[in-house]
Amino acid sequence: MRSSRQGPQKRLALRRPARVGPAPGGKTTMRVEISSRQAVLRCPAPAIRAVLRKALQMEGTDAELSVALVGDAEMEALNRRFLGRKGVTDVLAFPYGTQGGLVSGEIVVNAELARREAAARSHTPLDELMLYLVHGLLHLLGYDDHKPAERRKMHERERSILAAAGHVVES
């Protein structure tokens, strides 16, 4: 879900950004900070960085990102505060703009929901979480999913990126 309201004034992730230099086979530059404030799903930071790097390479852009893994309670509070919606959601993306060719934003992912949804699908909770992560990143890059044609295009791109990163999911 893309936020139409201004995102958090203070980034939710707390760690110092880790700079990832030019990726193998490309010139993508990525800075990412990752924070996990949930205990339901273990998601290694290198796996998150690898998926983000692959997506940015495929999209041909650079980014400075903050990623927060949260549970249902925190996601519900954020969803209500920033979108005015009740209930949990899978992902929220807060664009901070583009400066010097560097896309900047925050992606908040619901790890608790990823675990539940994966149980009903034919893939792992980690794969489901990566789907949410890519979905949020694509929103930051300007993709939208409000109309059926846009939704199809976005879901095809998600599957393409995830497959290239070694995660096969149905989105």
Give the tens place of pLDDT for each residue, 68-119.
Answer: 999 999 999 999 999 999 999 999 999 999 988 899 999 999 999 999 999 8
Report the share of the chain in percent with pLDDT over 70. Answer: 83
Phi, psi of 79 (to 5 degrees): -60, -40
State which fold the 18-164 domain adopts: Collagenase (Catalytic Domain) (3.40.390)
Higher pLDDT, 22 or 11: 11
pLDDT classification of 21: cutoffs 50, 70, 90: very low
Which residue is listed with tokens 């949930």?
38
Local structure of residue 40 (DSSP, 8 states): S
Q: Is 34 helix (H, G, I), strand (E, B) or coil?
A: strand
d(CA 69, CA 103): 20
CA dihedral 136, 40, 128, 135 (to 10 degrees): 0
Q: pTM of the prediction?
A: 0.84
